[in-house]
């Protein structure tokens, strides 16, 4: 496996912040360098052991989808080579795992599309028969395909906390009726087009979340990561069944192993064995290989 990058150390650009996975640097006043590290989090705790190659997979998939879906909505991509904005001795840190993007004003809503009933949506449905205020037919089961995809937004949480499911009225209060309706329509169109393509590769996209930002003219742009195993649930169509939580192309091996450990889900997390790191890295690589080949 390739060497893993837990944290970038770019000195030639101002560091703006570090998220769970991405490190963000300023490139002048109007652009950002976003470096996807190999960090992995589980149960909202960043683990000490990175997944080799994970950052490259996230970046390759995001660039793939941004190009494929560019006709739906503008996006933050600039096409600038990250190696051109850092010092020569820093290029190894950004090659294949970074993007130079437009600096946008984030829309403070997680735009989530669901085509299947799983995760927090399944919990909401069991409790109320609805997800984020969207009423659904009775009798659906875990992982049931929905009659049509639905927009189920979430309010952005503070770092280390779970995003909270909200209804459409919350989005209207945040951004206004017209922008809320535009975000909903674009989110669903992106999801439907991506799902139809992924189905030809034997992958079900159960749900996904998008992030949007506004440029100085107020034009909506797609930003951040797009349709990756970290922001979506990818299921192999060959293993899909109702009534279970199907296997997914993400950190499932990590979560499953951690659940067997004596751990209260607060930092520090247990160190991951090599076998879990290897299996998780293989799942991420399989997702990008299936979708882009």
**pLDDT over threshold 80, residue 66:** yes
The model's pTM: 0.94
CATH number at residue 38: 3.30.200.20
Are both 32 and 126 inside the same structural domain? no
CATH number at residue 226: 3.30.470.20
- CA 63 from chain centre, in angstroms, equals 13
Place of tokens 């705790």: 45
Are both 66 and 183 inside the same structural domain? no
Domain boundary among 239, 255, 279: 239
Domain boundary among 36, 69, 103: 103
The total domain count for the chain is 2
pLDDT digits (tens, 9 = 90+) for 176-211: 999 999 999 999 999 999 999 999 999 999 999 999
CB-based contact 5:93 (threshold 8 Å): yes
In a domain, 168, yes or no: yes
pLDDT for the residue 106:
96
pLDDT digits (tens, 9 = 90+) for 107-164: 999 999 999 999 999 999 999 999 999 999 999 999 999 999 999 999 976 655 567 8
**pLDDT over threshold 60, residue 51:** yes
Are both 62 and 93 inside the same structural domain? yes
> Residue 155's domain spans which residues?
105-239
pLDDT for the residue 133:
93
Are both 156 and 95 inside the same structural domain? no
The chain-wide mean pLDDT, for the chain, equals 95
How far apart CA 142 and CA 233 sit, in angstroms, is 14
Are both 92 and 174 inside the same structural domain? no
Are both 116 and 64 inside the same structural domain? no
Where would I find the H helices in the chain?
Answer: 54-68, 91-94, 119-128, 168-175, 177-199, 252-259, 274-292
**pLDDT over threshold 80, residue 62:** yes
In a domain, 248, yes or no: no
CB-based contact 93:181 (threshold 8 Å): no
pLDDT digits (tens, 9 = 90+) for 200-251: 999 999 999 999 999 999 999 999 999 999 999 999 999 999 999 999 998 8
Domain boundary among 103, 129, 154: 103
pLDDT for the residue 251:
87
Mean pLDDT of 93-100: 97
Are both 110 and 235 inside the same structural domain? yes
Q: Which residues are CB-neighbours of 157 under 8 A, at least 6 positions away?
A: 163, 164
How far apart CA 186 and CA 210 sit, in angstroms, is 10
């Amino acid at each position: 496996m390739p060497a893993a990058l837990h944290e970038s150390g770019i000195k030639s650009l101002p560091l703006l912040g570090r998220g769970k996975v991405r490190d963000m640097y300023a490139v002048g006043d109007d652009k950002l360098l976003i470096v996807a590290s190999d960090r992995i989090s589980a149960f909202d705790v960043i683990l000490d052991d990175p997944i080799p190659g994970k950052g490259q997979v996230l970046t390759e998939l995001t660039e793939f989808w941004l190009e494929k879906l560019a006709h739906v909505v503008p996006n933050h991509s600039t096409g600038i080579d990250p190696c051109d904005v850092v010092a020569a001795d820093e290029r190894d840190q950004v090659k294949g795992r970074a993007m130079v993007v437009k600096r946008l004003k984030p829309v403070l809503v997680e735009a989530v599309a669901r085509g299947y009933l799983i995760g927090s949506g399944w919990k909401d449905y069991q409790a109320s028969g609805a997800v984020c205020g969207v009423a659904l037919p009775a009798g659906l089961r875990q992982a049931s395909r929905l009659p049509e995809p639905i927009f189920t937004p979430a309010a952005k949480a503070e770092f280390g906390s779970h995003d909270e499911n909200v209804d459409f009225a919350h989005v209207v209060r945040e951004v206004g009726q017209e922008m809320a309706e535009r975000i909903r329509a674009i989110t669903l169109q992106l999801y439907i087009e991506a799902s139809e393509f992924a189905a030809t590769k034997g992958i079900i996209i159960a749900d996904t979340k998008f992030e949007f930002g506004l440029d100085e003219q107020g034009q909506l742009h797609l930003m951040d990561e797009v349709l990756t195993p970290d922001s979506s649930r990818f299921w192999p169509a060959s293993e899909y069944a109702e009534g279970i939580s199907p296997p997914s192309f993400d950190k499932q091996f990590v979560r499953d192993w951690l659940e067997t450990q004596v751990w209260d889900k607060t930092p520090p997390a247990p160190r991951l064995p090599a076998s879990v790191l290897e299996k998780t890295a293989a799942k991420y690589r399989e997702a990008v290989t299936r979708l882009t080949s």
